Structure 1
Amino acid sequence: MNAILDKAIAAMSRLPDAVQEAIAREVLNLIDADARWDTFLGDPRSRNALSQLAAQARDEIARVDVPKF
């Protein structure tokens, strides 16, 4: 474990149990969501679909006068 994670866990250990559980659930949800994105983006079907969507977006932008910010 690295130093910042040690520091965060030490700080969380001083919080009420309900808050510790809520934070732990959020961390686990973030880790799970990240793993699901990795699986999704690693699938060649997803890469193909995302490439098609990007091409459609570029085509649409080329056809429309898009204001520059």
Structure 2
Amino acid sequence: MSRLMEQAIEKIRQLPESEQDALASIVLQEIESERRWEELFARPESSDLLSRMADQALTEAKAGRATPLDLDDR
């Protein structure tokens, strides 16, 4: 286990059980979400779909139908 994970777990142990359960639920959901994304991207049709989506985005940007992303505007 990484040092950072050990630090996080030590801090979590100091919290009330209900907060520990809430954090554990978030972590487990995130792990499952990552597993699902990896599974989806591993499919052969994913590459074709992503390529078509990228082409569509480029076409829309060239046609002036895209808005630049402003990371400072939050």
Taking structure 2 as the reference length, the TM-score comes to 0.82
In structure 2, the residue matched to 1:7 is: 7
Q: How does 1:1-69 map to 2 (within 5 A)?
A: 1-64=1-64
Cα shift readout 1:15-34 (whole Å, capped 9, x = no counterpart): 00000000000000011101
Gap change, CA 1:66 and 1:57, over 3 Å in 2: closer
Structure 1: 4+ residue segments shifted above 2 A: 63-69
Unaligned runs of 5+ in 1: none
Q: Provide the aligned length of Structure 1 versus Structure 2.
A: 69
1:65 Cα deviation (Å)? Answer: 7.0
Unaligned runs of 5+ in 2: none
Of all paired residues, the percent bearing the same amino acid is 30
CA contact (8 A) 2:60 2:66 kept: no
1:33 is aligned with what amino acid?
Answer: S
Which protein has the bigger helix share?
A: 1
1:66 Cα deviation (Å)? Answer: 5.7
Gap change, CA 1:11 and 1:55, over 3 Å in 2: same
1:41 Cα deviation (Å)? Answer: 1.0
